[in-house]
Amino acid sequence: MSDAPIGVFDSGLGGMSVLREMLRRLPHENFIYVADSGHCPYGGKSQQQIVARAVAITDFLLGRGAKLIVVACNTATVAAVEYLRANYSCGFVGMEPAVKPAVALTRNGVVGVLATVATLSGDKLHRLIDRHAGSVRIITQPCPGLPERVEAGELDSTQTRVLVERYTAPLLAGGADVLVLGSTHYPFLRPLIQQVVGAGVKLLDTGDAVARRVEQVLSGASHGDAAGEDLRADRVGRGQVEWFTSGTPQHMQSVGSRLWGLPIAAGVLPA
Ligand code: DGL
């Protein structure tokens, strides 16, 4: 079991920002990454539609022997992780926007959260804010259109910059000095966002925190579904990543490779 792969999925290429952090912490693990680019974005979809996609991808990953599944998508976590945990016996690790560290980091007491419409309207984020915000003011901003720009590989095009300016303006006007990147696509836009908001505003994402959580679950130290069992790979060399997409392999090969920084050859996710 320990040599089995870790399954990772996102609505598209965004979850690669989480995979990058996991590879850093867990270099001996094998991973299977599924980009649901053929169905991206999830942000405007209904919960039912997102659950259906999450189930199809989970079945695929389990069919390939995954020992743990990382839902590397904030939107899918909000919409589907409870359903997945209730209906499958394997462990799931989901995303959580970095509200807690942002609250600890702000100096002027205002935090901005950039996320999808679905993430912002879910109970999960409101519970997180209720639990951690205290006297800090949290301003949320939906960002329709941004994942599509990342999927198109447009990390600094005029169109992308216009959207980033539009979505960050109300947060800056409200006085936010920390912005939470609440979608796994946004870390790819970090240089552009930083340029737009200025060096004085801190940007936080959750990739490394999720990688640490995965490490903990694999080691059996967690109280989650995999409690007690050591699921860590015992290979000495580096693990491998297998790539699948519901979009076209050409898209993964061109845009995916550019975001990843290395050539990627992707298989097609069966319909
Ligand atoms: N990557 C997804 C997330 O983390 C968002 C993109 C989408 O709308 O599909 O929320």
Question: How far is the centre of ligand 1, averaged over its atoms, from the C-alpha of 12 (Å)?
Answer: 8
In sequence order, what are the beta bridge partners of 244? 34, 267
Ligand 1: which residue has its CA nearest to atom 5? Answer: 183
What domains can you pick out in the chain, each with its CATH number? 6-95+207-268 (3.40.50.1860), 99-204 (3.40.50.1860)
Best residue for ligand 1 mutational test, from 45, 70, 75, 206 (most atoms within 8 Å of Cβ): 75
Predicted local confidence at residue 247, as pLDDT: 96
* pLDDT at res. 236: 86
Separation of 67 CA from ligand 1 center, angstroms?
A: 24
Mutate to test the pocket of ligand 1, among 73, 245, 259 (most ligand atoms within 8 A of CB): 73
Where does the chain have alpha helices with state H?
Answer: 16-25, 47-63, 74-87, 99-105, 117-121, 123-132, 146-151, 158-173, 190-197, 207-218, 249-251, 257-260
What is the distance in A from the centroid of ligand 1 to the CA of 71?
11
* pLDDT at position 239: 94
Q: Which residues of 47-81 are buried (b: 16+ CB within 10 A; e: fewer)?
A: eeebbebbebbbebbeeeebbbbbbbbbbbbbbbb
Q: Cβ contacts of residue 150 below 8 Å, gap of 6+?
A: 12, 13, 14, 185, 186, 188, 189, 259
pLDDT in tens, the chain (271 residues): 688 999 999 999 999 999 999 999 999 999 999 999 999 999 989 999 999 999 999 999 999 999 999 999 999 999 999 999 999 999 999 999 999 999 999 999 999 999 999 999 989 999 999 999 999 999 999 999 999 999 999 999 999 999 999 999 999 999 999 999 999 999 999 999 999 999 999 999 999 999 999 999 999 876 555 457 899 998 889 999 999 999 999 999 999 999 999 999 999 999 8
Question: pTM higher than 0.85 for the full model?
Answer: yes
- Residues lining ligand 1, CB < 6 A? 10-11, 14, 40-43, 73-75, 116, 119, 147, 183-185
pLDDT, position 226: 45
In this prediction, residue 22 carries a pLDDT of 98
pLDDT for position 190: 98
Amino acid, single-letter form, for residue 53:
R
185 CA closest ligand 1 atom index: 1
